[in-house]
Amino acid sequence: MGIEIERKFLVKSDAWRVGATPVLIRQGYLSADGAITVRVRVKGDAGFITIKGAPVGPTRAEYEYAIPLADANEMLDTLCLRPLIEKVRHLVTCDGVLWEVDEFLNENAPLVVAEVELSAASQKVTLPEWVGPEVTSDPRYSNSNLSKRPYSTW
């Protein structure tokens, strides 16, 4: 079984930008009922479909599979709920830990969120100085909820 263990934080400064590696992400949801989400994503020049279970704290079931780029684009254009999520993901390494900093575009701008994936829910992680309040347990910040209620409408 695939498991995702992730903590999510707001970002309080631009200090993370030094050495960050960006990639454009476009994603949409075929299903986002709260318990289970089915997501289609184009990340750079690759397509993916992902099924996620309901979160239990920072943990949830996750299954992700590569799909043809043309299929991913067609599903995003014709099948996914609106609005789509578009963001620039920046990979940032701090103290040997990989952080994903997402700068949201369009309806979700100017939201910036940092995520760190863990190997265990109890894993300790040193927070970089640019990391702000934790929002792991706040459902408003899930990408599936941002597609239903964009940040600009809060």
| 154 residues of the chain, pLDDT tens digit each | 588 889 999 999 999 998 899 999 999 999 887 689 999 999 999 999 999 998 888 888 999 999 999 999 999 999 999 999 999 999 999 989 999 999 999 999 999 999 999 988 888 999 999 999 999 999 999 999 999 999 999 9
Upstream peptide bond of 128 is cis (omega within 30 degrees of 0): no
Given the residues 29, 63, 141, 151, select the one marked as catalytic.
29
Our answer to whether residue 63 is catalytic in this structure is no
Q: Where along the chain do its domains lie? A: 3-153
| Statement: the pTM of the whole predicted model exceeds 0.95 | no
Helix (H, G, I), strand (E, B) or coil at 66: strand
Nearest C-alpha neighbor of 7 from the set 72, 98, 82? 98
Q: 144 to each of 35, 57, 102, 108, how far by Cα in Å?
A: 11, 16, 14, 12
What is the fold, at CATH topology level, of the domain defined by 3-153?
A: Hypothetical Protein Pfu-838710-001 (2.40.320)
